[in-house]
């Protein structure tokens, strides 16, 4: 095995280990030693690849963003009906959040701490979601009398917040409702259909 392949394999092993640790312990509770142990390497080697858990998390975040943002843009800019786009949006968002449940809190913390720096990194490496066509489509559906008169912006905010909040408030929801990890995941899977149904039923005439 060449040196490049070995380094790539080690880096992939670290990233997979970090995802597991972040899921189990969250960003604040995770330690570099935990990640090194999970990856089966020593801490010195981990620091050779990633100087800090923040840098490691940044790589994981950008990897998830690269999966999500293009798909969301594809939904926004497709020729599908408004209702189909609402269904697809919720399905894609919840799928990515389920695979990376620690991301919402990380994003909120980073934006609160240093919004310009954090968003700048995303803008440099990733095309941000472009919802213009989606918002214009809502306006057209209102004029056609297909849906009620609503604010396109508020509809989009509702879609995003209803998809993301359960992951932000995961610990509170699990504790209050007495849900284990499997039950929480099943409920999130159900929300892929529940959220679109709730929103579509509330806006269609």
Asked whether residue 65 carries a pLDDT value surpassing 80, the answer given is no
DSSP, res 128: P
Asked whether residue 161 carries a pLDDT value surpassing 80, the answer given is yes
Q: Are residues 160 and 85 in the same domain?
A: yes
Q: Are residues 47 and 78 in the same domain?
A: no
* Look-up of token digits 């489509």: 137
What's the pLDDT score for residue 30?
84
Which residues is 135 bridged to in the sheet? none
53 and 35 in contact (C-beta within 8 Å)?
Answer: yes
What CA–CA distance (Å, rounded) separates 182 from 195? 20
Domain containing residue 95: 60-203
By residue count, the chain amounts to 205
Encoded tokens for 89: 């949006």
Q: What is the pTM of this model?
A: 0.75
Q: What's 17's domain CATH number? A: 1.10.10.60
Q: What is the rounded average pLDDT for all residues in the chain?
A: 86
Q: How confident is the model at residue 162 (pLDDT cuts 50, 70, 90)?
A: very high
In this prediction, residues 65-69 reach a mean pLDDT of 76
Q: Are residues 98 and 191 in the same domain?
A: yes
Q: Are residues 19 and 68 in the same domain?
A: no
DSSP, res 47: H
In whole angstroms, what separates CA 7 from the centre of its chain?
27
What's the pLDDT score for residue 193?
96
What CA–CA distance (Å, rounded) separates 79 from 96? 23
Q: What's 146's domain CATH number? A: 1.10.357.10
What's the pLDDT score for residue 130?
84
What CA–CA distance (Å, rounded) separates 11 from 25? 21
Neighbour-count burial of 36, counting CB atoms closer than 10 A to its CB (0-12 exposed, 13-18 middle, 19+ buried): buried
Encoded tokens for 41: 């390497």
How many folded domains does the chain comprise?
Answer: 2
pLDDT in tens, 189-198: 999 999 999 9
Residue 20, C-beta contacts closer than 8 angstroms, at least 6 positions apart:
38
205 and 148 in contact (C-beta within 8 Å)?
Answer: yes
Alpha helices in 30-177 (DSSP H): 32-39, 43-49, 53-76, 82-99, 103-113, 115-125, 132-144, 152-168, 170-177
Q: How confident is the model at residue 97 (pLDDT cuts 50, 70, 90)?
A: confident
Mean pLDDT is highest, among 54-63, 118-127, 196-205, for 196-205
Radius of gyration of the chain (CA): 20
pLDDT in tens, 98-145: 887 777 777 777 677 777 776 676 665 556 778 999 999 999 999 999
Encoded tokens for 200: 């579509």
What's the pLDDT score for residue 100?
78
How many C-beta atoms lie closer than 10 Å to residue 10's C-beta? 17
Q: Are residues 71 and 19 in the same domain?
A: no
């Amino acid at each position: 095995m060449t040196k490049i392949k070995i380094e790539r394999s080690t880096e992939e092993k670290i990233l997979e280990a970090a995802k597991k640790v972040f899921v189990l312990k969250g960003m604040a509770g995770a330690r570099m030693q935990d990640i090194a142990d999970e990856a089966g390497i020593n801490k010195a080697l981990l620091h050779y690849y990633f100087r800090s858990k923040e840098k490691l998390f940044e790589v994981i975040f950008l990897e998830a963003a690269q999966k999500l943002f293009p798909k969301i843009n594809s939904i926004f800019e497709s020729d599908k009906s408004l209702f189909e786009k609402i269904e697809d949006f919720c399905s894609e968002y919840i799928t990515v959040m389920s695979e990376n449940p620690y991301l919402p809190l990380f994003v909120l913390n980073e934006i609160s701490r240093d919004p310009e720096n954090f968003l700048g990194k995303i803008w440099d490496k990733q095309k941000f979601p472009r919802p213009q066509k989606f918002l214009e489509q809502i306006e057209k559906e209102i004029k056609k009398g297909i849906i009620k008169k609503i604010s396109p912006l508020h509809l989009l905010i509702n879609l995003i917040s209803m998809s993301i909040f359960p992951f932000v408030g995961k610990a509170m929801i699990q504790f209050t409702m007495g849900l284990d990890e499997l039950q929480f995941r099943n409920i999130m899977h159900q929300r892929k259909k529940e959220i679109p149904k709730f929103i579509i039923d509330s806006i269609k005439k």
